[in-house]
Structure 1
Amino acid sequence: MTRLEVRLDAIREMPLAELRSEWQAQVKSSAPNISVKLLRLGLAWKIQEKALGGLSRDAKRELSEDPRLAVTTGSSRQLTSGTRLVRDWHGQGHSVTVLEEGFVYDGQHWSSLTAIARHITGAKWSGPRFFGLTGAS
Structure 2
Amino acid sequence: MTRTAKSTPVGEEIAPPLPAFPTIPRHEVLARLAALRTTPIGDLKAQWRTLFGKEPPPFSRSYIESRLAYRIQELAYGGLRPETRARLEALGERLDGGNVVLRRIRADSRPLPGTRLVREWQGVEHVVTVRPDDFEYEGRPYRSLSAVARHITGTRWNGWTFFGLRGAGA
CA deviation after TM superposition for structure 1 residue 3, in Å: 6.8
Which TM-score applies when normalising by structure 2?
A: 0.41
1:70 alignment counterpart: 104
CA deviation after TM superposition for structure 1 residue 71, in Å: 3.6
Residue 135 of structure 1 aligns to a residue in which SS?
coil
Residues in 2 aligned to 1:132 and 1:72: alpha-carbon distance in whole angstroms: 18
CA deviation after TM superposition for structure 1 residue 116, in Å: 0.3
Is 1:102 matched up with 2:102? no
For 2:71, give the aligned amino acid: I
Residue 94 of structure 1 aligns to a residue in which SS?
strand
Larger Rg: 2
2:9 alignment counterpart: none
Structure 2: give runs of 5+ residues left out of the alignment: 1-20, 27-32, 38-60, 76-98
2:117 alignment counterpart: 85
Is 1:47 matched up with 2:81? no
Structure 1: give runs of 5+ residues left out of the alignment: 8-20, 30-42, 52-61
Using CA pairs under 8 Å that are at least 6 residues apart, name the structure with larger relative contact order, 1 or 2: 1
Residues in 1 aligned to 2:165 and 2:156: alpha-carbon distance in whole angstroms: 16
For 2:104, give the aligned amino acid: A
Residue 93 of structure 1 aligns to a residue in which SS?
strand
- Alignment partner of 2:160 out of 128, 131, 134: 128
Residues in 1 aligned to 2:62 and 2:160: alpha-carbon distance in whole angstroms: 25
2:94 alignment counterpart: none
Q: 1:84–1:3: structure 2 CA closer, same or farther, 3 Å change rule?
A: farther
Residue 97 of structure 1 aligns to a residue in which SS?
strand
Residues in 2 aligned to 1:77 and 1:3: alpha-carbon distance in whole angstroms: 36
Asked if structure 2 preserves the Cα contact closer than 8 Å seen for 1:98 and 1:104, the reply is yes
For 2:166, give the aligned amino acid: T
Aligned length: 92
Residues in 2 aligned to 1:133 and 1:77: alpha-carbon distance in whole angstroms: 9
Which 4+ runs in 1 deviate beyond 6 A? Answer: none
Which TM-score applies when normalising by structure 1?
A: 0.50
Query: Percent of counterpart pairs with the same letter?
Result: 38
CA deviation after TM superposition for structure 1 residue 81, in Å: 0.8
Asked if structure 2 preserves the Cα contact closer than 8 Å seen for 1:77 and 1:133, the reply is no
